[in-house]
Amino acid sequence: MPEHFFFDLDNTLTPSRAAMAPHHAPIFQELCARHDVVVVTGGAEEQIQKQIPFPSSGNFTMLSQQGNYAIAKDGMLLWYETVTPEQEAAVRAFADLLTAELALSVSDPNDLFENRGSQLAYSTLGFHAANELKYAYDPDQSKRRALLAAHPEEIAQLRAAGVEAIPAGSTTIDFILKGKNKGYNIRRLIEKVNWHKDDCLYIGDALFPGGNDETVIGVIPTKAVKNPDETFEYLSSILR
């Protein structure tokens, strides 16, 4: 059995930007009591605390914003990378271009862009749109991959500014510091705390080609799941 468990958040531990199911929480807390647990997500640390119904302190390590903001289980800040104002301005301009091009009906135009500190994020429908709408919009990420592929010049300009774009979650495009993805930061953590890679396991719903969990493949062992129910069925089986 692995000793160190790494998890994606949305659609792996919880529904998208929603609280962990009440019947899943005791299983997760038991895992935290028995093993090292690390939550790795594009979301900010505040969002992790909203979705998991008990504090990270004393329970699990947070690698938020693709792992570029890392807080240890004991509450110690491990590292914090930040985007620059120039990077934010470039990404906002690109996001505005996409919004105009898509011309989607959204409930709140001010809910499409977030500066999370270590990364920037753009949601085609809005971060707080109803989950049924978000899940139906682009379940295989093909729309967002095609959207990015249609703008090679803009993507190249963002990369020159030190930012890369990846589809994430159900409607989001994450703009992360170039090269500093989940795989990079998981490797960074296990080297810092001296864990052996074969004692680790990453569980996520987007390990497919182009998914925002794909960069973990080859860094530590991985397990693909489709949703939180599948995650917790597996955890229940190993905790018996």
d(CA 234, CA 48): 21
How large is the average pLDDT for residues 208-229? 95
Binning pLDDT at 50, 70 and 90, where does residue 211 land? Answer: confident
- CATH architecture entry for 85-177: 2-Layer Sandwich (3.30)
Q: Where in the chain is the domain with CATH 3.30.1240.20?
A: 85-177
Burial class from Cβ neighbours inside 10 Å (0-12, 13-18, 19+) for residue 237 reads: exposed
Q: Where in the chain is the domain with CATH 3.40.50.1000?
A: 4-81+180-239
Q: Are the C-beta atoms of residues 154 and 147 closer than 8 Å to each other?
A: no
Which of the pair, 16 or 158, is modelled with greater confidence?
158
CA 111 to chain centre: 18
The pLDDT value given to residue 212: 86
Provide the mean pLDDT of the chain.
95
Give the CATH superfamily of 4-81+180-239.
HAD superfamily/HAD-like (3.40.50.1000)
The pLDDT value given to residue 240: 84
How large is the average pLDDT for residues 203-222? 94
d(CA 101, CA 104): 9
The pLDDT tens digits of the residues spanning 182-208 come to 999 999 999 999 999 999 999 999 999
